[in-house]
Amino acid sequence: MTKKEKPEQYDVCIIGAGSAGLSVAAGAAQLGLKTVLIEKDRMGGDCLNTGCVPSKALLHAAKIAETFRHSSKVGIRNVEPDIDFSAVKDHVFGVIGAIEPNDSQERFERLGVTVIRDKAVFTGKNTVTAGGKTILAKHFVIATGSRAAIPPLPGLERDKVLTNENIFELREKPEHLVVVGGGPIGIEMAQAHRRLGSKVTVLDIATILPKDDPELVAILKDRLKIEGIDIFEKTKIEKVTHAEKGVVVSIEHNGKKLDISGSHILVAAGRQPNTAGLDLEKAGVEFDKRGIKTDARLRSTNKQIFAAGDVAGGPQFTHIAGYHAGIIIRNITFKLPAKVNYEALPWVTYTDPELANVGMTEAMAIEKYGKDKVKTVSLHMAENDRAQAETRTEGMIKVVALNNGKILGATILAPGAGDMLGMWGLAIQKGMKLSDIAGTIAPYPTMGEISKRAAGAWYTPKLFSEKTKKLVGFLKKWPF
């Protein structure tokens, strides 16, 4: 090897500048490690450019449009909003632009990170090539994320469908958006486009939002149908026919065959990890269709190489990417055997109302502990005074706990449910009981007060039982 070909040496090499990679790079550099970050596409990854940020910006515009349509219930005349779809997209890209500097190459270079904008390829167990350079590092972090999975449906052509990667680029409103997949991405985009004036049809091979509590999903599904979204569950797609202007999806539903004609088709049928082209075999890193195989410390089969975020084969959420980054930083910089723990894992579908969950659903708890050891308590949003004041009484909270009151999980369907979830996540992490939540002082009137009231409702039968009444009767005879 000539002197010119000598590899550049680093403490940490991160591949992928999405949420996970950026968090690791910032932490490592600020702790004094010599850090290199390799990204072949856009800084910020999926979340900033084609995921969380643009979708929430679009949903916000859609929510405002819907408010115009239903203001008469508070004494303001309903108005059908005049929607400029292209201007809505200006808003979406304006939000991306406002956040972009936080994820920019310039910012990370100011932090001391070497940034290489090229594809990374492993050439050995501790070397990669990128940008015409060979990088030698003590530790690697693969944070290449995931992309939309395209199911092998007869007639479906990848270059003629929308995914989260290109739907935000549309400047003309879809006349009829056919959504394949009833997971969070599909349902969020369905509601957003319906509220912005498109006809929307959702097709799912099973049921929509299958990981969430079915009782709360049913309430949300009714809301979506009232808004005019056609939902076909347990549906087989037999064929997709792309026309010059639009698409025809042939389905079988409830024993009947139907043709659904749309102007656009959005595929939101899951994600697949970005592992192709890395030559992971040369690094001794095992992977499968779910992603890179890791242990609880997020180490791959090559212990010097970690995986973070979607590519790590676990839960696919931006907040998990940030969580993974913290685990990896502790392992690499402080040599602590930090491990992942998803006991208090939160997830939110940002529909209106939002559907938020942390920890176990009722079904998950029963599967683990058995039906006799698990109890639930529920309270509808109609019991919340703030919800009544804002005419937003659809939804409910359901809390899952062991018989002794130890909290296992909570699901909330309400406006701002995601913001109400944090307390329950902390309670699960700290092993708290419902008595801890019931004993808090909640500000009145707030949507979040529903959490305290639900916890209190757990103890209502016991508090006002005949046994308690007898005790009170006995105690009142005592002198004060």
- The whole-model pTM stands at 0.94
Query: Pairing relation of β-strands 287-288 and 346-349?
Result: unpaired
Tens digits of residue pLDDT in 470-479: 767 777 777 7
Give the ranges where 291-384 is alpha helix by DSSP (H): 318-333, 362-369
Task: Please name each of the domains of the chain with its CATH number.
Answer: 7-43+104-148+272-333 (3.50.50.60), 158-270 (3.50.50.60), 346-464 (3.30.390.30)
Q: Which residues of the chain have pLDDT under 70?
A: 1-4, 463-465, 468-469, 471, 480
**Cis (ω within 30 of 0) for the bond into 445?**
yes
Q: Edge-to-edge, what's the strand order for the sheet holding 354-359?
A: 346-349, 354-359, 407-414, 396-402, 374-380
d(CA 355, CA 347): 8
Neighbours of 389 (CB within 10 A): 11
- Integer-rounded Cα Rg, in Å, for the chain is 25
Name the phi and psi angles at 26, rounded to 5. Answer: -65, -45
Give the ranges where 6-100 is alpha helix by DSSP (H): 19-30, 45-49, 52-69, 85-99
Q: Write out the two tokens for 249.
A: 């999806």
Residue 70, CA distances (Å) to 88, 133, 306, 355 in order: 20, 59, 50, 21
pLDDT at 463: 63
pLDDT at 480: 66
Neighbours of 271 (CB within 10 A): 19
Which amino acid makes up residue 191? Answer: Q
User: What are the residues facing 346 on neighbouring strands?
Assistant: 358
Tens digits of residue pLDDT in 212-221: 999 999 999 9
pLDDT at 473: 72
Name the phi and psi angles at 171, rounded to 5. Answer: -105, -20
d(CA 97, CA 311): 26
d(CA 209, CA 190): 13
User: What are the residues facing 267 on neighbouring strands?
Assistant: 180
Question: What does the DSSP 8-state code read for residue 398?
Answer: E
